[in-house]
Structure 1
Amino acid sequence: MDHLTFIYPELDIEPIAQNLIRTMRLDEDCQSPLAHKNLWDQTDIAVITYGNSILSDNQPPLKTLHHFLQAHFPMLINTVHILPFFPYSSDDGFAVSAYKQVDPPLGDWSDILRISADFHLMADLVINHCSAQHEWFTNYQKGKSPGRDFFVEVDPKEDLSKVVRPRVTPLLRATSTPRGTQHVWCTFGHDQIDLNFANPKVLAKIVDIIRLYLDMGVRIFRLDAVAFIWKILGTNCLNLEETHEIVRLLRTLIEHADPNAVIITETNIPNRENLSYFGNANEAHCIYNFSLPPLLVNSLVTGNCRYLKNWLMSMPPAQNGTTYFNFIASHDGIGLRPVEGLLDDSEQEALIQTMENFGGQISWRALDDGSNKPYEINISLFDALKGTTAGEDDWQLERFVCAHAIMLALEGIPAFYLHSLVGTTNDYERMKEHGHNRAINRRQWQEQELNERLADPESHHHKVFHKLRRLIKLRREQPAFHPNATQFTLHLGDHVFAFWRQSLDRRQSIFCLNNISDQPQTVSLNAINLIGTDTWKDLVSDATFDDMLASITLDPYQTLWISNRW
């Protein structure tokens, strides 16, 4: 009632509240979540993938994916984010045309249930918009329900210059209806029509979808593009208070249905705005750490971690019951909005130029003055790290592994894009075929071909795969790598990115040292204050350290995890 009163102050909210409670079946089984409870530990590792990233003959792709993960990552990966697996019309799944179905070419709900029985299943709640081919929008065009009042209509004469958008297409789409031509709001493009959450019937439909997903084994809900869901003319229509209240409402409903369920907000926006979705530990359980990918790639191609280090020092420790969702590659690209205010323009320009030199493409967004600005870099992470600002070199594999070692050690839950785990490179043919830049990093592998490459010791796919598997195994065994364990930034110059982690029980300390340059770097053990009464060992190389006054030399892109417990 409190949530709804804030969102809909002019409406009679009691029947709305009772309907939501019935839809979530909280009138039958309402559980009590514990505040500030960590629903994760150091063993939680996620993989992000499309349902059809791996294919085999005569088998639904979801079955192939399930088999591949079981075969190659037993006891290593326990969480699977399957990107939208519903029928869709565009945007590789994010223009959903039927929320309650599994896309038939992928499989069916029985495949989803089998995966959710073996892994924590993360699914997208594409909350801001639906496909122009969804029944709701076709009904809108006919003046029928449900759908007739589900979309945001705007007079094109209104001043919309303040609206923040991630695309360059026109915001409004002219649409024929029985009431004449109407103009509907489309944040992401004319095939993705924004839903009107000012109508509580829309909210009720979304809650009904959430209930189904819970029944189908979904434990983790990724709220896609949630920052855009509420519109008020004259504002930027981003991160509005009603948006945050809807997230709090969904959190309340979901966690009282399943106290082990988790909400993750996908808000590809500047860092400070992104952090606001933690609320007071009452909104998202996890937020995407969107600033990490561009800052980390920038550090590794420049050999200088100054910006990355400054950012890490500014990040607040997540309260218990919340944590960061760390990733460095995804199905989209390397976002540039999250480094606004963190990287200056010249650094961004140098990063963009370097990525273009390595085969990357640039996607753009529209500004309120009518100009365009780079929005994201589209490139596979393996190719993004094939060299430095000076050009390509022989350190690609080491640089790539170093990036993931850093991600694995940082505060938060690490998430690997499937294509990073197997060292997939830029897919220019798929990009050309699909006609959009993001397809460059959305390859579809034949399972047999991929297995052959992973089994070939000379293949870079094999080398990447086995090095990352080993690091994952090491991470899972360290209490100091709990997502909420203490973290402090260390200052060892601009070429060694270093930080300290300490387990929640304070028994284990790990000093994480990463040479992010293409030159050897020497560090004095005295500089990191190893306690002389403890015995210290590098978990990665098995080297031990007895002389606390000695110096150590890190090879280019070498990582040390120096621990007092193993």
Structure 2
Amino acid sequence: MEQFKKDIQFLYPDRVDETLQEIDQIMNHYRAITPSEAFKLDEEDAILITYADSFKDENESTLQTLNKLCKKYLKEGINSIHILPFYPYTSDDGFSVVDYMEVNPDFGNWKDVAELEKSFYLMFDAVINHMSKSSDWFKGFLREDPEFENFFIEENPDKEELNMVTRPRVWPLLHKYNKNGKDAFVWTTFSEDQVDLNYANPKIFLKVLDVLLFYVSKGAKLIRLDAIAFMWKKLGTTCIHLEETHRIIQLYRKIIEQVAPQTVMITETNVPHSENISYFGNGLNEAHMVYNFSLPPLLAYSLHKENVDVLTHWAQSLQLPSDKTCFFNFTASHDGIGVRPLQGIVSDAEIGKLAKIVESHNGRVSYKSNPDGSESPYELNCNYMDLLTNPNEADDLRVKRFMLTQAVMLSMPGVPGIYYHSIFGSENDEQGVIDSGINRRINRKKLEFSQLEKELNQPGSLRSKVYEMYMKMLKVRKAEKAFDPFGEAKFYQENGVFIVERKSASDTVYCLYNFTGGEKDIEKLTEGKIDLATGNNADSSLTAYEFMWIV
């Protein structure tokens, strides 16, 4: 316990001994029931990002359908699955959790999760900044049950210091609730249904620790800490990235490492790049991985500009604090494409141009509130293929432009996370937005297993073209040691071709990308080299939007 004492003294100086004792009890409980298994990230790791109910089939739970689909169609290229929140919830497609320790009965049960873990490594979501207002915790708080006292944050809405708080949404920071017959204004970073937990109360710290270790005991090899930047609130500050927040994450890592040292912690902080990477800590004490949030909008920006100068300069600036950390690379997710991570890399005017492209491709743009009362783009709500290409363009051109960006993502140092709509070549679900009024639904459509299977087996369909090309790349990637997540990488360009150079003890792989609609001469780069995709001598040119991995 001595190793945790300094952090507890910093966070909870009035409750040091009691908190340490509680931590010890929780750790001892989970040590007895948590299997100790070897797990180390390497070049074979590729993670599917999906909801528990993304795929549906008759007469089985959606978790069973997910298992069936992944084993049949993805096992050769995907070895891990990030199941987005699969707990009982009330809104935000899972991110308003009612009970952290139950499986939503609409999706299945813990037995279904255990079956999935037999074939794949699993990432669980820890939605621990906030809970549903329908949770037992918040209900107890509202009826003034002593067990839930100070579990959430009440504040006076007239305090001027609240104007300093960083806002990721346009609606109010505080919402009014009936607390045992009285009005209570409670902190809600994201929505009226998502009430923020009060980490200034050590009971919340302990409750959440119990949740995290419970997930490990249920088979989670990786844990995603959702919206983690907002955890600690302190009036007079922006209430984002506070030292207390970092210390909590560091302490959770220390404790979990004592019980299950193989566990990988990933922080999700959709903020400018320099702020995002602060969650690596010193490289040994905080997140093992952070989301590479600048990559998705930057790839789209570079493709539309047909210029890789900014992409190259940004990639050359990437630094990691140690060889024990890496990026979680992705291009699409259940959320939209955040544009805050572009700040400081391209101008606000260029971000505005991207937003206009999204709207012209039948997408949506979500906005955030600024301290001066203005609003600015926060997120592009669009299927990634529809962001990159006009839906009216020919399929072959769309696939080339889309797969170019996916290949870059797969070749970046770090672990790739692939959204289910990306690997199966989906497009905007405009009807989903119309029916729900929720912009993010444009990229969250549920897929019928039988219909998806039919389209995948239809030669020349958009889905089959994307799926077949994606699986081919994944098989090539997992066979090359040079794609180790922690391996060496260099970034440069020649003749306007973006180049990612990956190196292992035995090989150097050169990944060449043409972001333009014209042909590029690459004879000097490919001479004497083999195309990994074909096993033949590499060609001397790249056609429009073509890429090549050579060795």
TM range (shorter): over 0.9
Deviation of the 1:266 alpha carbon: 0.4
Question: What SS does the aligned partner of 2:164 have?
Answer: coil
Among candidates 228, 231, 245, match of residue 229 of structure 1:
231
8 Å CA contact 2:169–2:367 kept in 1: the answer is yes
Matched with 2:24 is: 21
**Partner of 1:124 in structure 2?**
125
Give 1:333 shift.
0.7
TM-superposed CA distance for 1:369, in Å, is: 1.2
Q: Deviations over 1:198-252 (max 9, x none)?
A: 0000111111111221121111110000000001101000000000000001101
Which residue of the partner structure matches residue 413 of structure 1?
415
Q: Could you say if the C-alpha distance between residues 73 and 331 of structure 1 is closer, same or farther in structure 2, counting changes exceeding 3 Å?
A: same
Residue 539 of structure 1 is matched in structure 2 by: 532
Please state whether the residue corresponding to 1:222 is helix, strand or coil: strand
Name the counterpart of 2:198.
196
Retained in 2: the 8 A contact 1:45–1:414? yes
| Paired AA for residue 124 in structure 1 | D
Aligned to 1:307: 310
- The Cα shift of 1:163 comes to 0.6
1:450-529 correspondence runs (5 A) = 450-493=452-495, 495-503=496-504, 505=505, 507-525=506-524, 528=525
- Tell whether the 8 Å contact from 2:352 to 2:377 is kept in structure 1 after alignment: no
Residue deviations 1:318-358 (CA, integer Å, cap 9, x gap): 52221110000001111001111011122112111111111
CA distance in 2 between partners of 1:95 and 1:234 (Å) = 27
Determine if contact 1:135/1:147 at 8 Å carries over to the other structure: no
Assess if the C-alpha contact under 8 Å between 2:33 and 2:217 holds in 1.
no
Q: What is the aligned partner in structure 2 of residue 557 from structure 1? A: 545
* Secondary structure in structure 2 of the residue aligned to 1:374: strand
Equivalent pair of 1:305/1:516 in contact (CA under 8 Å): yes
Deviation at 1:38, TM superposition (A): 8.8
Structure 1 residues 27 and 415: alpha-carbon distance in aligned structure 2, compared to 1, 3 A threshold: closer
Provide the identity percentage: 38
Rounded to whole Å, the distance in 2 between the matches of 1:171 and 1:74 is 44
| 1:238 corresponds to | 240
Decide which structure has greater helix share: 2
CA distance in 2, matches of 1:511, 1:318: 25
Contact 2:328 2:417 in 1 (8 A): yes
Contact 1:24/1:207 (8 A) holds in 2: no
CA distance in 1, matches of 2:83, 2:30: 31
| Cα distance between partner residues in 2 of 1:145 and 1:402 | 56
Q: Does the 8 A contact of 2:279 with 2:287 survive in 1? A: yes
| Correspondence for 1:548 | none
Give per-residue Cα distances to partners, 1:24-81, cap 9 Å, x unaligned. Answer: 22795699x9xxx992110000000001110011111000001000011223211100
Contact 1:26 1:257 in 2 (8 A): no
- Which residue identity is paired with 1:279? G
Kindly provide the amino acid, as one letter, of the partner of residue 2 in structure 1.
Answer: K
Q: Indicate the SS of the match to 2:235.
A: coil
Indicate if the aligned counterparts of 2:413 and 2:487 stay in contact, CA closer than 8 A.
Answer: yes
Q: Which runs of structure 2 are paired with 1:160-559 in the superposition (5 Å)?
A: 160-178=162-180, 180-280=182-282, 281-317=284-320, 319-387=322-390, 392=393, 395-493=397-495, 495-503=496-504, 505=505, 507-525=506-524, 528=525, 535-544=528-537, 552-559=540-547
Instruction: Label 1:491 to 1:197 Cα distance change in 2 as closer, same or farther (>3 A).
Output: same
Distance 1:30 1:320, change over 3 A: farther
In 1: Cα distance, 2:31 partner to 2:80 partner: 29
Cα deviation, residue 496, structure 1? 1.7
- Name the amino acid aligned to 2:149: R
- TM-score normalised to the size of structure 2? 0.95
- Alignment partners' CA distance in 2, 1:145 and 1:336: 42
Pairwise CA distance, 1:117: 2.1
Count of aligned pairs: 543
**Separation (CA, whole Å) in 1 of partners of 2:384 and 2:101:** 33
**Contact conserved, 1:363 with 1:437, CA < 8 A, in 2?**
yes
Contact 1:117 1:217 in 2 (8 A): no
Residue identity opposite 1:539 in structure 2:
L
RMSD: 2.0
Match of 2:113 in 1: 112
Distance in 2, matches of 1:347 and 1:322, equals 31
SS state at 1:42 partner: coil
Q: Give the Cα–Cα distance (whole angstroms) in 2 for the partners of residues 522 and 6 of structure 1.
A: 59
Deviations along 1:375-427, one digit per CA (max 9) or x if unpaired, are 00011112122249xx9566111011111111111100011001101011111
Task: Write the distance in 1 (CA, Å) between the matches of 2:438 and 2:390.
Answer: 25
**SS at 1:537 equivalent:** coil
In the alignment, the residues of structure 2 paired with residue 372 and residue 236 of structure 1 have an alpha-carbon distance, to the nearest angstrom, of 17
Give the counterpart letter for 1:372 in structure 2: E
Q: After superposition, what is the alpha-carbon deviation per residue over 1:168-204, rounded to whole angstroms, capped at 9, x for unaligned?
A: 0100111222373221100001110000000000111
- Match of 1:24, SS state, is helix
Q: Secondary structure at the match of 2:252?
A: helix
1:156 equivalent to 2:160? Answer: no
1:147 deviates by 2.3
Maintained 8 Å contact 1:30/1:256: no
